[in-house]
């Protein structure tokens, strides 16, 4: 997959006046990542750099790339996508001025993808576990955080706000994600502006294990835990039990009843997803109430 992804990025069409490079961060892998990159480096010696980050965790890898990057604009892409030839140009073009701090593009599935019938497509973020991000074909200001496999930020945003939180992002023993959207919302909270560029398209590979109900349940469970880590225990209520807002227990009961009472298979699974998410919120609130959470994010690259 890495070779296929690199081939597509290397085919990018940018103006001759723009200098750009690809940084491949090897996060202590045990496969042939280094050799794959070495083979490309022979063919494109001025275009690709290999970085080894020994500390496991995606956020550690991302922050290592940020520290070593030499450009003014950082674009992010994972090793399981294929990009269009105009992707990099269109994704980064809005960042040539200081009006926008970051840009998010469209993430869509391979052209032959057919969603399983049990996915509740009537819900806006139904395909979020598959890292799909598609807000339509109209460019506009972005009022939410883009997804990590198709986003770009100005270097100045990281210099001001730091890097990706290392208590978020997949790492050995934890599949909790959210390091990408947490940073995007941090940029928005700082008053900086983001842009949605639908013409910057990547095609995301979807292996069979991601098209299983258990994967969706686990993803939403971990997403709910990440949200609590990012935003903290919900406030605005007087009643707590063991550090958990009581209304979460009520929501858990309501959605559990709907799960068992609903006959439509798709809506039934939608209710089950909500039960898993609320259960994760309860678990994370309890954990935070017992032990203060210490999170870290990289300091300024400089």
Q: What confidence tens digit (pLDDT) does each residue in 22-45 have?
A: 999 999 898 999 999 999 999 998
Give residue 40's pLDDT. 94
Interstrand relation of 151-154 and 102-109 (parallel, antiparallel or unpaired)? antiparallel
Element (H, E) at 212: none
Element (H, E) at 105: strand 102-109
Measured CA to CA, the distance from residue 189 to residue 213 in angstroms comes to: 34
Residue 90, pLDDT above cutoff 80: yes
Measured CA to CA, the distance from residue 98 to residue 107 in angstroms comes to: 25
Measured CA to CA, the distance from residue 37 to residue 48 in angstroms comes to: 8
Q: Where are the domains of the chain?
A: 2-209, 211-290
Interacting residues of 165 by C-beta distance below 8 A, sequence separation 6+: 59, 179, 182, 183, 230, 295, 296, 297
Measured CA to CA, the distance from residue 205 to residue 130 in angstroms comes to: 9
**CA angle 138–178–68, rounded 5-degree value:** 90
Give residue 293's pLDDT. 45
User: How many CB atoms are closer than 10 A to CB 42?
Assistant: 8
Residue 102, pLDDT above cutoff 90: yes
Give residue 298's pLDDT. 52
Per the CB < 8 A criterion, the answer to whether 206 and 160 are in contact is: no
Task: Encode pLDDT of 116-154 as tens digits.
Answer: 999 999 898 899 999 999 999 999 999 999 999 999 999
What fold characterizes domain 2-209?
Spore Coat Polysaccharide Biosynthesis Protein SpsA; Chain A (3.90.550)
Measured CA to CA, the distance from residue 135 to residue 301 in angstroms comes to: 32
């Amino acid at each position: 997959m890495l070779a296929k992804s690199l081939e597509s990025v290397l085919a990018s069409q940018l103006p001759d006046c723009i200098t750009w490079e690809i940084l491949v961060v090897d996060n202590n892998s045990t496969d042939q990542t280094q050799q794959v990159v070495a083979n490309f480096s022979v063919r494109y010696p001025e275009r690709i750099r290999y970085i080894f980050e020994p500390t496991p965790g995606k956020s550690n890898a991302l922050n290592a790339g940020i520290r070593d990057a030499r450009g003014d604009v950082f674009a992010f892409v994972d090793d399981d996508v294929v990009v269009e030839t105009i992707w990099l140009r269109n994704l980064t073009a809005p960042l040539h001025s200081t009006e926008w701090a970051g840009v998010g593009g469209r993430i869509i599935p391979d052209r032959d993808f057919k969603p399983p019938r049990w996915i509740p497509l009537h819900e806006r973020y139904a395909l979020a576990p598959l890292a799909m991000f598609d807000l339509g074909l109209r460019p506009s200001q972005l009022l939410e955080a883009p997804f990590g496999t198709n986003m770009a930020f100005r270097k100045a945003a990281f210099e001001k706000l730091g890097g990706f939180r290392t208590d978020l992002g997949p790492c050995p023993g934890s599949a909790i994600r959210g390091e990408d959207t947490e940073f995007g919302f941090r940029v928005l909270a700082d008053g900086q502006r983001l842009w949605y560029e639908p013409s910057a398209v990547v095609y995301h590979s979807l292996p069979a294990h991601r098209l299983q109900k258990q994967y969706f349940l686990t993803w939403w469970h971990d997403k709910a835990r990440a949200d609590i880590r990012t935003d903290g225990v919900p406030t605005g209520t007087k009643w707590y039990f063991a550090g958990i807002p009581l209304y979460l227990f009520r929501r858990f009961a309501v959605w559990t009843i709907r799960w068992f009472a609903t006959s439509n298979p798709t809506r039934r699974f939608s209710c089950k997803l909500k039960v898993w998410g609320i259960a994760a919120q309860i678990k994370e609130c309890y954990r935070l109430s017992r032990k203060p959470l210490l999170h870290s994010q990289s300091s300024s690259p400089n």
